[in-house]
Amino acid sequence: MKLVIVGSVALDTLATPAGAVKRALGGAATHAAVAASFFTDKLGIVGVVGDDFPAAFPKLLRSRKIDLGGLSQVTGKTFHWKGRYEGDMAVAKTLHTELGVFAGFDPVLPAAYRSAPFVFCGNIVPEIQSKVLDQASRSSFKVLDTMNLWIATKKKALLNAIKRVDAVVLNDQEIRQLTGVHSLILAAKALLKAGPRFVLLKRGEHGASLISKNEYFHLPAFPTEKVRDPTGAGDSFAGGLIGSLTAAGRVDKGTLRRAMASGIVMSSFQVEDFSLWRTVKLKRPEIENRLKRLRAMTSF
């Protein structure tokens, strides 16, 4: 195992101006793992689902060569999110959240996962993220995601977890909320002082930036004109990124930049249709083509 992805595996019921789905496959770990699976086949998910989880979904994940040894199925209901996007789809409106078995999620990494060099710890309660980090102490590159809820309610626990990882993924609102600094560059610099070597800043339609102590790298979002469902865009970005790094096998300036580009490209496909419909159909040349176009968009 080279890459472990920990987080929610969920059912999404949602509507956008382009349509609607019921109990479609979703969840942070799912989106990140499927995106990563286009770069490495040595990856596994750690998560929990209920006994209502349709058999077709594990089958789909296995078809992407994602190991499910860390995905437990227990009695109860699968995490179910109901939401709606309106207008420009910039913000999801949550209509209902049914945590189900995810409320008691206590991730246990299978033995084979504990020496994986790359770990993506999706957005879950910060104390649980720390438990994951305890088990992944031999990992050489740990990436952590979070959300506004934990910044507001569990900031101290979150900062404890952040201190222990190599990179943090945040969007512009989250980093401002976490640091209290409005300028994104200064906010990133402030966050670097809290421990991580890298800040991976998601800027939505403005792209994404990689900020470290001595470096600044920025890429535009791929200019997708067709957005049907933005769900999973951020997790696909993180998955494409860490999947690409896992494939490279090392973290340096070149591999990080290529990984950022891979993340941008994976999220650009993700939003083109509901659930994972577009992403699972992807062919490698499509990804390469967008990487090439993304490079052309920024060179002068």
Q: Which of 54, 104, 249, 254 touches a copy of itself (CB under 8 A)?
A: 254
Sheet with 92-98: list strands edge to edge.
19-26, 10-16, 80-85, 92-98
Site string for a copy of itself, 174-193 (x = CB under 8 A): --------xxxxx--x----
C-alpha 160/C-alpha 126 separation (Å) is 8
Check: CB of residue 175 under 8 Å from CB of residue 187. yes
Q: Which of 42, 257, 272, 277 touches a copy of itself (CB under 8 A)?
A: 257
User: Quick count: other Cβ atoms within 10 Å of Cβ 180?
Assistant: 8
Q: Which is nearer to a copy of itself, 44 or 207 (CB)?
A: 207
- Name the amino acid, one letter, at 259: A
Residues 216 to 245 in contact with a copy of itself, rule: CB under 8 A: 216-220, 223-225, 227
Site string for a copy of itself, 125-164 (x = CB under 8 A): ----------------------------------------
Residues 18 to 37 in contact with a copy of itself, rule: CB under 8 A: none
* 207 near a copy of itself, judged by CB under 8 A: yes
* 289 near a copy of itself, judged by CB under 8 A: no
C-alpha 182/C-alpha 179 separation (Å) is 8
Closest to 201 measured CA to CA, from 213, 189, 192, 210: 210
Q: Taking the alpha carbons of 160, 167, 112, 38 in that order, is the dihedral positive or negative?
A: positive
Site residues for a copy of itself per CB under 8 A:
87-88, 90, 182-186, 189, 203, 205-207, 209, 216-220, 223-225, 227, 254, 257-258, 260-261, 295, 297-300
